[in-house]
Amino acid sequence: MPTCLITGVTGQDGAYLSQFLLQKGYHVIGLLRRSASSDTVGERLRWLGILDKVELVDGDLVDLSSLIRILQAHQPTEIYNLGAQSFVAASWNQPLLTGQVTGQGATNLLEAMRIVLPRARYYQASSSEMFGRIQEPIQNERTPFYPRSPYAVAKLYAHWMTVNYRESFGMYALSGILFNHESPLRSIEFVTRKITDGVARIKLGMARELALGNLEAKRDWGHARDYVRAMWLMLQQDEPDDYVVATGRNSSVRDFCRIAFSYAGLNYEDHVVSRSELMRPAEVDVLLGDASKARQKLGWQPTVSLEDMIAEMVDADVERHRKRRQA
């Protein structure tokens, strides 16, 4: 039975990746950072019905000693670093924390791996936010980066450290440059879940208005289930390399609202308002990915359309609120 270690195991991607790897017969070890809300951190794993199948171990990306002990104790053959302070908007208010966890945390894990398990395979969760103020209309692995938030800067540091460990020490270390990917497990502070949760509240008569920031920002949105499959495929290749993962279709936040409200039989123009205080200090206007390399070398392609993903998210949020009202 192969063993893997997943940081960020209780997040959206960590939960879906755990489910995917369990189905493939892996022993899944999940890094769990203890916090005051630790009684609720397993909700996504529980929602997928796998909480009791993942072995959760205490540790923290900012604590090198805990990472070394975990690698020594469990000897994973694959390491997926999905842990981060991943909310872009919060990174302006917590730039030092974001740098320590999202950037330095990746280096801590790479260093622990170099010391304990230099032959293990390492996946770094890089982000399309690194492209920022885009230098090319469609972004691929060769497109220059121009990060526009502390989060994106921290991700870029982790990305280049992954390249450096691969080239300096011959380690099997790579990055997946993932464009936006969503699901019913997305955290509520992200705009996509904020929209589908707002649709559910309005549909059920719990609210009348949904306040958002920039409605014209465009993103390349896919489903998290598709994207975690790409992560695994990357680590199965003979040689490590970096890959863009994207659908090749971008839509605006306004488009996302229109589709979500329309699915619920509502007109978004009757309910959505744009608030200046919800705008980012520095916006990323457009992101559109070219995943040709992943399609050709990994045989990967997305299977869930934007419309189907939004419908799944709306249905899940409607069901959540109905259950809460009945409780």
User: What does the pLDDT profile of the chain (327 residues) look like in tens digits?
Assistant: 899 999 999 999 999 999 999 999 999 999 998 764 555 678 999 999 999 999 999 999 999 999 999 999 999 999 999 998 876 778 888 889 999 999 999 999 999 999 999 999 999 999 999 999 999 999 999 999 999 999 999 999 999 999 999 999 999 999 999 999 999 999 998 999 999 999 999 999 999 999 999 999 999 999 999 999 999 999 999 999 999 999 999 999 999 999 999 999 999 999 999 998 888 787 889 999 999 999 999 999 999 999 999 999 999 999 999 998 887
Q: In the prediction, which pLDDT does 278 show? A: 84
| Residue 215 near residue 174, CB atoms below 8 Å | no
| Residue 180 near residue 13, CB atoms below 8 Å | no
Domains in the chain, CATH or no CATH each? 3-181+221-245 (3.40.50.720), 187-219+250-284+304-326 (3.90.25.10)
| Catalytic-residue membership of 129 | yes
SS3 250: coil
Residues 6+ apart with CB under 8 A from 193: 182, 186, 187, 313, 317
How far apart CA 141 and CA 132 sit, in angstroms, is: 14
Q: In the prediction, which pLDDT does 90 show? A: 81
Catalytic residue among 78, 129, 182, 312: 129
Q: In the prediction, which pLDDT does 37 show? A: 54
Strand order in the sheet with 78-81: 55-58, 27-32, 3-7, 78-81, 121-127, 172-178, 243-245
How far, CA to CA in Å, does 197 sit from each of 44, 88, 185, 206, 219?
A: 16, 19, 12, 11, 19
Burial tier of 241 (Cβ tally within 10 Å: 0-12, 13-18, 19+)? middle
Catalytic residue among 126, 127, 149, 183: 127
User: Minimal CA–CA distance to 245: which of 285, 192, 288?
Assistant: 288
| Catalytic-residue membership of 35 | no
Residue 49: left if φ>0, alpha if ψ -120 to 50, beta else—which one?
left
How far apart CA 243 and CA 292 sit, in angstroms, is: 9
List the Cα angle 163/165/169 in 5-degree steps. 130
| Residue 215 near residue 272, CB atoms below 8 Å | yes
Burial tier of 270 (Cβ tally within 10 Å: 0-12, 13-18, 19+)? exposed
Burial tier of 289 (Cβ tally within 10 Å: 0-12, 13-18, 19+)? buried
| Catalytic-residue membership of 16 | no
Q: For the whole model, what pTM was predicted?
A: 0.95
